[in-house]
Amino acid sequence: MDKIKLLGKTLTELQEIVLELGLPKFNAKQIAQWLYKHNVSDIDEMTNLSKKARERMSEKYEVGAYTHTNVQTSVDGTKKYLFPTMKDQFIESAYIPDRDRATLCVSSQVGCKMGCLFCMTARQGFMGHLTSGDIVNQVRSLPEREKLTNIVYMGMGEPLDNLEEVLKSIEIFTSDYGYAMSPRRITLSTIGLVPAMQEFLDRSEAHLAISLHSPFEQERKQLMPIESVYSLHSVIDTVKKFDFGRQRRVSFEYIMFDGVNDSPRHARELIKLLGDMRCRINLIKFHPIPDSPLKGCSREKMEAFENILKAKGVMTTIRSSRGEDIFAACGLLSTKERSKKR
């Protein structure tokens, strides 16, 4: 029988494990520190636990960390790591160094169910949810872990479709017993699953990014099937009702498609929709995927669009594309071919 992985367990879960094994409660915190501070690979390395405790634990549990099986490096320094997860399935994480910050874009599912027209991961279909351990492992087993300053849940999958495992991983990244990162260094990106988004806002302090891509419901529906269930107005109303305080941030992701969502009419509607909010709009270059009916728009058009928004005081940036040559850029992550080959 496969052993249960300790990596990805919260302190509360570790306390349940030590109680079940008949060990003292304080062992849980020690185990958490071995897992998340010392990054051990084997229970035997947890040397402040008695030998008997380690033996008892090893009968049923293992650390459960695993390394990447492939890495590609972009000309711009971005690295795309391939991790094996469940049986014959793989995920990708993108490490993006940029001056004084280094960001890891983590995956939360193998594939995705959401079917967005512009996304390569959608073409892969859905193979499964990642566990909290699989998510934490992307950071734990990153060779550049010590340089990491930020984590974004923008890799494969819709994180709010895997809410509990994602929240557990955020707890581990931000808790004193875990990686002790500031939640302000973590951003979760969603297409807007409203009830789960409300849960995320209530139960975490991390930043929120929302994939918008059109200010018009009918047009957004053609790009993103989720609009047929949770309208963009319901998403934005939920965000507007939430008190983000002074530190927490909400941003809107807006991929620009030539002739689809890049007109002054769209910019003006965005201002109407978001102008009274303290938020940022990130304009993103579209990275075409095979056989897509969508095309990216020119830099000039993006700048003109940005200027309309900025003129009305909407904080707007054009996000630079990273890792395009290794298919690590926004919307390009996919392990479909690799999964098929196995």
Site stretch for other proteins (CB under 8 A), options 6-14, 24-32, 182-190, 191-199: 191-199
Query: Considering the rule CB under 8 A, would residue 126 count as an interface residue with other proteins?
Result: yes
Respond yes or no: is residue 105 known to be catalytic: no
Q: Which tokens belong to 269?
A: 């509607």
Respond yes or no: is residue 92 known to be catalytic: yes
Instruction: Specify the residue, 290 or 313, whose C-beta has the smaller distance to other proteins.
Output: 290
Q: What DSSP line would sit under 73-133, residue for residue?
A: E-TTS-EEEEEE-STT-EEEEEEEEETTEEEEE--SEEE-SS--TT-HHHHH-EEEEPPHH
Site stretch for other proteins (CB under 8 A), options 65-73, 113-121, 243-251, 303-311: 113-121
CB of residue 293 to other proteins, shortest distance in Å: 5
Q: How far is CA 324 from the centre of its chain?
A: 18
Catalytic residue among 105, 119, 297, 330: 330
Half-sphere exposure of 56 (CA within 13 A, CB side): 14
Query: Considering the rule CB under 8 A, would residue 66 count as an interface residue with other proteins?
Result: no
CA angle 51, 56, 133 (to 5 degrees): 105
Q: Which residues contact 279 (CB under 8 A, 6 or more apart)?
A: 249, 250, 251, 252, 315
What's the chain's length in residues? 342
Site stretch for other proteins (CB under 8 A), options 14-22, 30-38, 116-124, 180-188: 116-124
Bridge partners of 105?
94, 152
Query: Considering the rule CB under 8 A, would residue 276 count as an interface residue with other proteins?
Result: no
Catalytic residue among 92, 158, 171, 227: 92
Query: Considering the rule CB under 8 A, would residue 113 count as an interface residue with other proteins?
Result: yes
Query: Considering the rule CB under 8 A, would residue 227 count as an interface residue with other proteins?
Result: yes
Query: Considering the rule CB under 8 A, would residue 229 count as an interface residue with other proteins?
Result: yes
Query: Considering the rule CB under 8 A, would residue 339 count as an interface residue with other proteins?
Result: no
First to last CA, the chain: 23
Query: Considering the rule CB under 8 A, would residue 336 count as an interface residue with other proteins?
Result: no
> Which letter, b or e, does each residue of 211-249 get, where b requires 16 or more Cβ atoms within 10 Å of its Cβ?
bbbbbbeebbeebbbbbeebbbeebbebbeeeebeeebb
Instruction: Specify the residue, 149 or 234, whose C-beta has the smaller distance to other proteins.
Output: 234
Site stretch for other proteins (CB under 8 A), options 63-71, 83-91, 291-299, 300-308: 291-299
Query: Considering the rule CB under 8 A, would residue 221 count as an interface residue with other proteins?
Result: yes
Listed residue (98, 89, 91, 83) closest to 141, CA to CA: 83
Known catalytic residues are 92, 330
Query: Where on the chain is the footprint of other proteins (CB under 8 A)?
Result: 112-115, 117, 122-123, 125-126, 161, 163, 194-196, 199, 217, 219, 221-222, 225-231, 233-234, 237-238, 241, 291, 293-294
